[in-house]
Amino acid sequence: MRAQTTRGKRRVVKNMLEKVEEFNMEKVIQEFETLTKDAGRVQRETLKRILEDNASAEYLQNLGLNGRTDPESFKACVPLVTHKELEPYIHRIIDGDTSSILTGKPITTMSLSSGTTQGKPKYLPWNDELFETTMQIYQTSFAYRNREFPIKNGKALSFIYSSKQFKTKGGVAAGTATTNVFRNSRYKREMKALQSQCCSPDEVIFGPDFFQSLYCHLLCGLIFHEEVQLVSSVFAHSIVHAFRTFEQVWEELCTDIKQGVLSSRITVPSIRAVMSKLLKPNPELANLIHAKCVGLSNWYGLIPELFPNAKYVYGIMTGSMEPYLKKMRHYAGELPLLTADYGSSEGWIAANVNPRLAPEFATYAVLPQIGYFEFIPLTQLENNDASSSFLSIDLNPVGLSEVKVGEEYEIVITNPAGLYRYRLGDVVKVMGFHNSTPELKFVRRSSLLLTINIDKNTEADLQLAVEAAGKVLAEEKLEVVDFTSHVDLSKEPGHYVIFWEINGEASEQVLGECCNCLDKSFVDAGYTSSRKVNCIGPLELRLVRRGTFQKILEHYLGLGATVSQYKTPRCVGPTNSTVLQILTDNVVKTYLKFNHLTKFKDSRKKTCPHCVLS
* 54 lines the binding site for ligand AMP (CB under 6 A): no
Q: Applying CB under 6 A, does 43 fall inside the site for ligand AMP?
A: no
- Give CA separation, 9 vs 31, 35, 347, 370, in Å: 12, 12, 19, 12
Decide if residue 443 touches ligand AMP (CB under 6 A): no
Which of 458, 516 has the CB closer to ligand AMP?
458
- Binding of ligand AMP by 343 (CB under 6 A): yes
Task: Kindly indicate which of the ranges 35-43, 313-321, 375-383, 569-577 contains the residues binding ligand AMP, using the contact rule CB under 6 A.
Answer: 313-321
With respect to ligand AMP, which residue has the nearer C-beta, 570 or 610? 570
Closer by beta carbon to ligand AMP, 181 or else 515: 181
The bridge status of strand 228-235 relative to strand 155-158 is: parallel
**Ordered alpha helix ranges (H), 157-230:** 177-182, 187-193, 202-205, 210-223
Using CB atoms, what's the residue nearest to ligand AMP?
319
- In the stretch 273-312, what mask flags binding to ligand AMP with x, by CB under 6 A? ----------------------------------------
Does the protein bind ligand AMP through residue 445 (CB under 6 A)? Answer: yes
Rounded to an integer, what distance in angstroms lies between the CA atom of residue 486 and that of residue 495?
9
Compute φ and ψ for 32, nearest 5 degrees. -65, -40
Q: Does 121 bind ligand AMP (CB under 6 A)?
A: no
Q: How far is CA 346 from the centre of its chain?
A: 13
Q: Are 606 and 563 in contact (CB under 8 A)?
A: no
Sheet of 228-235: strand order equals 155-158, 228-235, 312-316, 337-339
Measuring CA to CA, which residue among 79, 123, 44 is closest to residue 417? Answer: 123
* Shortest Å, Cβ 357 to ligand AMP: 13
* Distance of closest approach, residue 11 Cβ to ligand AMP, in angstroms: 30
Q: How far is the CB of 131 from ligand AMP (least distance, A)?
A: 15
> Which residue in the set 59, 159, 161, 342 belongs to the binding site for ligand AMP (CB under 6 A)?
342
Check binding of 316 to ligand AMP (CB under 6 A).
Answer: yes
DSSP 368-424: TTS-EEEEEEHHHHHHHT---GGGGGG---EEGGG--TT-EEEEEEE-TTS--SEEE
C-beta of 45 vs 346, nearer to ligand AMP: 346
Coil, helix or strand at residue 367: coil
Which residues are paired to 482 by β-bridges? 501
Report the residue from 134, 345, 414, 451 that binds ligand AMP according to the rule CB under 6 A.
345
User: DSSP class of residue 497?
Assistant: E
Out of 257, 332, 365, 424, the residue judged to bind ligand AMP by CB under 6 A:
424
Measured from the CB atom, the residue of 100 and 113 that comes closer to ligand AMP is 113
DSSP assignments along 412-438, one per residue: EEE-TTS--SEEEEEEEEEEEEETTEE
Q: Does 516 bind ligand AMP (CB under 6 A)?
A: no
In whole angstroms, give the CA distance from residue 204 to residue 183.
Answer: 13
Helix (H, G, I), strand (E, B) or coil at 555: helix
Cis peptide before 538, with omega less than 30 degrees from 0?
A: no
Which one of 166-174, 270-278, 338-346, 478-486 is the stretch in contact with ligand AMP (CB under 6 A)?
338-346
Size of the residue set binding ligand AMP (CB under 6 A): 15
- The strand pair at 173-175 and 109-112 is best described as parallel
Out of 133, 134, 179, 344, name the contact with ligand AMP by CB under 6 A. 344
Instruction: Tell me if 426 contacts ligand AMP by CB under 6 A.
Output: yes
359 or 537: CB nearest ligand AMP: 359
- Smallest distance, ligand AMP to C-beta of residue 444, A: 8
Taking CB under 6 A as the criterion, which residues in 77-116 touch ligand AMP?
Answer: 113-114
Q: In what order do the strands lie in the sheet with 398-399?
A: 342-344, 347-351, 364-366, 437-445, 422-434, 408-414, 372-377, 398-399
CA distance 387 to 235: 26
CA angle 270, 225, 321 (to 5 degrees): 80
Residues 154-193 that bind ligand AMP (CB under 6 A): 177
Quote the least distance from Cβ 432 to ligand AMP, whole Å. 17
Site track 528-557 with ligand AMP (rule: CB under 6 A), x = hit: ------------------------------
Of positions 54, 100, 318, 363, contacts ligand AMP by CB under 6 A: 318
Q: Where along the sequence are the contacts to ligand AMP (CB under 6 A)?
A: 113-114, 177, 316, 318-319, 342-345, 424, 426, 442, 445, 565
